[in-house]
């Protein structure tokens, strides 16, 4: 039973990938890093994303080693430039 | 899509930030010191013909992360009263993109809490900016040359 | 007596302080960070039924000493733009007795310059306050239990 | 030829002395401390002033050992409570 997560792209990453979100499925167990690798392989333009971007799961900052579960919202975040 | 709505409960706004409203939110007769920080769009020595900055965000996460950041600040300065507003959209040079206000019984707490929050914003709050230049070009701002650095609290 | 006149060139005022006016005085497209400090009349845990504070000053010296203090601050943070206003007379609880604003290209300069000026005020600027209490009594405020301490810069 | 200075009192000190200023003459050379001693001896109520108050000459903070000259404005300052 594969894990399916919703991946969201923001700012420059959304421009690079040409979309703001995608559904990604992969076999368990899977980490955020696995999601990133799958995205970079499967989505046109996603090769331009860094191999180790900032990431959040369900709106919390996480390391790329964090596990993901079906239904999670995984966000790939360009370098933060708020304020 | 919930992130498109900027409601009254959000730390985000698409309108100019009212300093008076923010200061009023935290004012209290028990507080003798109030520190306000305003971040404004700059066209200075390090910029080249910037006319405005377009701010965008992972809006739901901004609100969640601001909630955690302010809870952290209140844990450190329990007597401080803190309010924050981040503006999104196209902001012209000279106008504020962020305002943070901290009121406390004593001034040291107010300064420290205010500074803590703006430093946290720079590390944690998922907001991005694109410089709009006089020549019509647009450039994403990659702060401080640490393009893939993780926030230190992760 | 010149000290009775509070003219436009003074750092002193007898009217409520306008934060907007003060922020506008220092705003510049080269400045990305602005730090404002407001000192307000408090009726908190450490006070007993304070309704207002009556501020008085050695007015000519206040202006002279503020001039020296701001020159010191500008020497340390040459890019900072700093404005300050101290209110005199009877100020009710919750209203500001002092406002200091420092704008600078980067936020650290703005915070540091603003903090430097308020610390200098507490040490150097000859202003005194008398608490007016609900029971009708009046008490001169002797800050921090150092009644005859000299400012450290003397 | 005696030195004559104008002495100013502020806030609580003005209340204690019951006046806001006085002219003080004393033989040269004289320091701010000499002025304070003379004031405490000569003016009714001035005994209540501290022996070593904060002082300013011509609107600058000075130590009590600073010399004074004829025409100087010597100010005795209660503990500063600005801000």
D10 three-state secondary structure: coil
Q: What angle do CA A40, A43, A47 make, to 5 degrees?
A: 40
- Render pLDDT for D29-48 as a digit per residue (tens, 0 to 9): 999 999 999 999 999 999 99
Starting at the edge strand found earlier in the chain, the sheet holding C50-57 runs C89-92, C50-57, C127-133, C138-140
How far is the C-alpha of B139 from the C-alpha of B43, rounded, in Å?
Answer: 14
Whether the complex's predicted ipTM surpasses the cut of 0.85: yes
C-alpha closest to that of C102 among C85, C119, C84, C88 = C84
B42 interaction partners in chain C (CB closer than 8 Å)? 29-32, 105
Nearest to B148 among A8, A53, A62 (CB): A53
Q: A3-9 and A73-77: which strand pairing?
A: parallel
Report CB contact under 8 Å: B151, A11: no
Q: Which class for A22: exposed (0-12), middle (13-18), buried (19 or more C-beta within 10 A)?
A: middle
Report CB contact under 8 Å: D59, C58: yes
pLDDT, position C38: 97
How far is the C-alpha of C45 from the C-alpha of A19, rounded, in Å?
Answer: 55
H helix or E strand, kind and range, residue B103: strand B96-104
Beta-bridge partners for B129 = B55
Count of residues in chain D: 83
How far is the C-alpha of C23 from the C-alpha of B92, rounded, in Å?
Answer: 17
H helix or E strand, kind and range, residue C138: strand C138-140
- With a pLDDT cut of 70, the percent of chain C lying above it is 87
Report CB contact under 8 Å: C42, B105: yes
Report CB contact under 8 Å: D79, C65: no
C58 interaction partners in chain D (CB closer than 8 Å)? 8, 10, 56, 59, 75, 77
C23 interaction partners in chain B (CB closer than 8 Å)? 19, 38
Å from C113 to nearest chain D CA? 16
Q: Whose structure tokens read 């997560």?
A: A5
Split at pLDDT 50, 70, 90, the class of C147 is very low
How far is the C-alpha of B31 from the C-alpha of B28, rounded, in Å?
Answer: 5
Split at pLDDT 50, 70, 90, the class of C144 is low
Split at pLDDT 50, 70, 90, the class of B1 is very low
B99 near A CB under 8 A: no
Nearest C-alpha in D relative to C64: D59
Tokens of B104: 């406390």
Beta-bridge partners for C53 = C91, C131
The whole model's pTM is what? 0.90
How far is the C-alpha of C33 from the C-alpha of B37, rounded, in Å?
Answer: 7
Nearest C-alpha in C relative to D51: C148
- Render pLDDT for B39-54 as a digit per residue (tens, 0 to 9): 999 887 777 789 999 9
- Render pLDDT for C4-48 as a digit per residue (tens, 0 to 9): 444 557 999 999 999 989 999 999 999 999 999 999 998 877 777
Å from A66 to nearest chain B CA? 11
How far is the C-alpha of C104 from the C-alpha of C113, rounded, in Å?
Answer: 9
B153 near A CB under 8 A: yes
């Amino acid at each position: 039973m594969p894990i399916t997560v919703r991946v969201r792209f923001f700012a420059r990453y959304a421009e690079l990938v040409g979309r703001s979100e995608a559904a990604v499925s992969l076999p368990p167990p899977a980490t955020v890093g696995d999601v990133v690798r799958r995205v970079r392989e499967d989505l046109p333009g996603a090769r331009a994303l860094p191999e180790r971007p900032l990431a959040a799961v369900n709106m919390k900052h996480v390391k790329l080693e964090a596990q993901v579960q079906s239904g999670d919202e995984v966000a790939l975040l360009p370098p933060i430039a708020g304020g | 899509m919930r992130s498109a709505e900027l409601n009254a409960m959000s730390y985000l706004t698409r309108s100019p930030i009212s300093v008076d409203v923010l200061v009023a939110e935290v004012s209290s007769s028990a507080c003798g010191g109030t520190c306000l920080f305003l971040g404004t769009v700059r066209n200075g020595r390090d910029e080249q013909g910037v006319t405005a900055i377009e701010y965008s965000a992972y809006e739901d996460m901004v609100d969640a992360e601001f909630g955690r950041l302010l809870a952290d600040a209140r844990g450190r300065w329990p007597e401080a009263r803190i309010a924050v507003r981040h503006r999104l959209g196209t902001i012209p040079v000279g106008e504020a993109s962020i305002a943070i206000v901290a009121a406390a019984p004593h001034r040291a707490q107010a300064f420290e809490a205010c500074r803590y929050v703006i430093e946290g914003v720079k590390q944690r709050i998922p907001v991005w900016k694109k410089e709009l230049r006089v020549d019509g070009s647009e450039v994403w701002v990659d702060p401080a040359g640490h393009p893939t650095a993780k926030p230190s609290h992760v």
